Amino acid sequence: MSPAAAPFRMTGGRVRLDGQEVLRGIDLEVAPGEVVALLGANGSGKSTLVRALLGLVPLAGGSTEIYGVPPTRFRDWHRVGYVPQRLTVGGGVPATVREVVSSGRIARRSRLRPFASAADRAAVRRALEAVDLADLAGRPAQRLSGGQQQRVLIARALAGEPDTFVMDEPTAGVDAASQAALAGTLRTLAAQGSTIVLVMHELGPLEPLITRAVVLEDGRVAHVGAPPEPEGECARPGHQHLHPHAPESAPTPLTTWNPA
Amino acid sequence: MSNPFAYDFMRIALALAVLIGLTAPAIGTFIVQRRLALLGDGIGHIALTGIGLGLLTSTSPILGALVVSILGAAAIEVLRARSRTGGDVALALLFYGGLAGGVLLTNLEGGGTGLQSYLFGSITSVTTEDLYVVAGLAVVVLAVVALFGRELFLLCQDEEVARASGLPTRMLSLLIAVTAAVTVVIAMRAIGLLLVSALMVVPVAAAQQLTRGFRDTMLVAMGIGVVSAVAGLLTAFENDLPPGPSIVLVALGLFVAAVLSRSMGRSLARRGGSGRTLPSGSEGMANAEVHR
């Protein structure tokens, strides 16, 4: 495995769930440092695609690699941080924000070391501060608001200090303030060179960060392109616009794309 | 009032009660979080066949129960993981097969005299050898929780995130099921197979009324488990009752007390106008309700 290998590379990926073909031949490569948005209507296969990229659902055809290795043989899981759509409640046993976030260190911790090291604790503290939840660390995570829970899940991934983040609709059901906070966190990550794959329903305040958008339709890639030119929201004064607009940008701007 | 410590069997039974009170809620916390509250119950049914086999072959009923319930737990876990639909019918077949097989085998052996004591627990029948076996098994259960607690916590929080963190989720799921089976065998002499699951679930349900974190819930549940087991056993001794039902009823009483103290705490906080507001983002609370 070379360190320069693409975080994700799927070739002809097909996924069948309950006899239904959900992905019908996806070719997708995510290069290091990219911020890729996966867009599409409900049922277009976005969430299935990220789960297949991580090897969480088996492929019925084609192949996929994480850093050049098939998911079943992949071992460097500490390089990948997965942020699922929502915090699971399970049987209702409470867990504090700190407990949930600390569990994100697991891929980095050795079996031989039963207690958290100073590095573990520092990483958890940084993760909590990055999403502005340090004050709530002792609270039961399940009783926070939807936006706060989303930040807990992101902090859990941050605590593992991965190179690549996979986030499934991090902005779904999140209030505007939390969305803005999330955009700030992602901006920092992108500036540090992290690779980010985001499933999204709409671009919203994250739009300026996206380097490439992939639109799914009915289990196929319907459109790949640079994100739209700054206009509307993005063009308003005071808007921080950090990514450079490459000259070869969007042959078909996504602003014309209509999910309906 | 006679002194329960004057009797050898009571000293053994009390030691057993402490071990049961510690181990059942410890593994029970993971089981409750995984929504497998009835797993212990199913394993208890299956273990009965092991007891029947042990009695029939004149070997140890405890070892028979241990082997059969571990196999049964593994089978349950495989069925749970493999099948999305029809899984619970397969589980039912396993449970009732285990119960029917056990009743049949114990009757074949000796008219089923010992059956009652295995179903609802018995104080007088426990021996020093039983205590040694149970103590060894309790060490195994507590070691599993101590060594794999963090991995099991993440597994019970979110299985997909656990897999995407590189954890061997199938092995860990199997570990939970097998540890539950061992716990059933630990608890069966004193509580009985039909009620054994209660001590894995009820103390956890009581503890989570009072706590904010996972580790705290487990520790409080273990405390409630020990209190229930010891108090229930002493009550049973004083009144010449089977120990299983009295242990379970004490645990249920503590659960009700925990629920009441929580709701009283809430109404006091509300009246005081203090407390339960979040420093930031409380406008999203409605959202959290939807997610629940």
Strands lying side by side in the sheet with A8-17: A20-30, A8-17, A61-66
What is the CA angle A138-A141-A145, rounded to 5?
115
Give the residue with greater pLDDT, B268 vs A123: A123
A242 pLDDT more than 70: no
pLDDT digits (tens, 9 = 90+) for B26-73: 999 999 998 888 888 899 999 999 988 888 887 788 888 999 999 999
Under 8 Å between Cβ of B131 and B137 = no
Give the per-residue pLDDT at B206: 97
Give the per-residue pLDDT at A39: 92
E strand or H helix at A50: helix A46-53
Give the per-residue pLDDT at A252: 44
- State whether the Cα torsion A183-A189-A193-A195 is positive or negative: negative
What is the CA angle B41-B162-B33, rounded to 5?
30
pLDDT digits (tens, 9 = 90+) for A189-232: 999 999 999 998 877 778 888 999 999 999 999 888 876 554 55
Report the distance separating Cα B254 and Cα B97, nearest Å. Answer: 34
CB-based contact, B6 to chain A, within 8 Å: no
Q: Do A89 and B292 touch (CB under 8 A)?
A: yes
Cβ-Cβ contacts under 8 Å, A170 against chain B: none
Report the distance separating Cα B181 and Cα B50, nearest Å. Answer: 12
pLDDT digits (tens, 9 = 90+) for B196-208: 899 999 999 999 9
pLDDT digits (tens, 9 = 90+) for B2-29: 788 888 888 999 999 999 999 999 999 9
Percent of chain A beyond pLDDT 70? 83
Q: Which range is least confidently modeled, A1-15, A121-135, B274-288?
A: B274-288
Give the per-residue pLDDT at A114: 64
Residues 6+ apart with CB under 8 A from B237: B4, B10, B13, B123, B243
Cβ-Cβ contacts under 8 Å, B217 against chain A: 93-94
Give the per-residue pLDDT at B31: 93
Q: Do A96 and B29 touch (CB under 8 A)?
A: no
pLDDT digits (tens, 9 = 90+) for A66-101: 999 999 999 999 999 999 988 887 788 999 999 999
pLDDT band, very low/low/confident/very high, at A241 (cuts 50, 70, 90): very low
Give the residue with greater pLDDT, A36 vs B115: A36
Report the distance separating Cα B214 and Cα A185, nearest Å. Answer: 27
Give the per-residue pLDDT at B115: 79
Under 8 Å between Cβ of B206 and B253 = no
CB-based contact, B164 to chain A, within 8 Å: yes
Minimal-distance CA residue of chain A relative to B201: A91
pLDDT band, very low/low/confident/very high, at A137 (cuts 50, 70, 90): very high
Give the residue with greater pLDDT, B292 vs B77: B77
A247 pLDDT more than 90: no
Under 8 Å between Cβ of A163 and A194 = yes
Residues 6+ apart with CB under 8 A from B78: none
Tokens of B229: 């087991």
pLDDT digits (tens, 9 = 90+) for B103-112: 888 888 775 5
CB burial of A155-172 (b: ≥16 within 10 Å; e: otherwise) equals bbbbbbbbbbbbbbbbbe
pLDDT digits (tens, 9 = 90+) for B221-240: 999 999 999 999 999 999 98
Phi, psi dihedral angles at A196 (to 5 degrees): -135, 130
Strands lying side by side in the sheet with A35-39: A80-83, A164-168, A195-199, A35-39, A212-217, A220-225
Distance from CA of B139 to the nearest CA of A (A): 17
Q: Does the ipTM surpass 0.90?
A: no
CB atoms within 10 A of CB B227: 16
What's the whole-number mean pLDDT along residues A52-67?
95
Report the distance separating Cα B223 and Cα A71, nearest Å. Answer: 42
